[in-house]
Amino acid sequence: MKKFLSIPALLLMGLVSCNSGSGNETTTAADSTTTTSTDTSMTSTDTSHSAMSMTTTVDPLPAIPKGAKVFFKNLKEGQTVSSPVKVEMGATGISVDSAGAIKQSSGHFHLLIDAGDSTVTGVAVPKDSTHLHFGNAQKKASITLTPGKHRIALQFADGAHRSYGGKLASAIDVNVKK
């Protein structure tokens, strides 16, 4: 049996070598086919990636629980303060959580320093020197302000930093002593 098998096998090898020997064109064609299929697979990978990120983006902003609000616990409109200013952030009807997962009835605080009274609903709060994130569920902060009048706003946002808008924001003026 082994001998019978080995003969056709050798014949096949001979045929294969004949083919490859006679056809440079065949080899080239095979190569280009391979390249094309690689490109196709790369494209499909890219498509799945963008599909994934789209899914993440499309994840809806959680609804604001009825009656939920945020407020400055220790500061009131027009208050005179000294820098660094201690800020206590309060929330009722919604829980303060770490950034990351998007959960219902949950989010974290942001402070906007002279950067408007709120961030548009659904828009991610920018991350810069005038937009402070408290993504570790902090409820207290100490901020350094120059002397004079400043507008500070508390903005609540979901786990992906997307603003809950003006309904979960609160803004006040403070006067910082020299």
Q: Which residues here bind Cu ion, judged by CB under 5 A?
A: 133, 161
- Closer to Cu ion by Cβ: residue 131 or 150: 131
Nearest distance from C-beta of residue 173 to Cu ion, angstroms: 23
- Does the CA dihedral 57-124-64-132 come out positive or negative? positive
Beta bridge partners of 110: 133, 155
Nearest distance from C-beta of residue 72 to Cu ion, angstroms: 18
- Closer to Cu ion by Cβ: residue 150 or 161: 161
- Residue 21, H or E segment: helix 2-22
Name, in order, each residue with C-beta under 8 angstroms of 43's C-beta and a sequence gap of 6 or more: none
- Closer to Cu ion by Cβ: residue 133 or 150: 133
Q: What is the 3-state secondary structure (H, E, C) of 110-138?
A: EEEECCCCCCCCCCECCCECCEEECCECC
DSSP class of residue 168? G
Nearest distance from C-beta of residue 131 to Cu ion, angstroms: 8
- Closer to Cu ion by Cβ: residue 115 or 176: 115
Nearest distance from C-beta of residue 91 to Cu ion, angstroms: 14
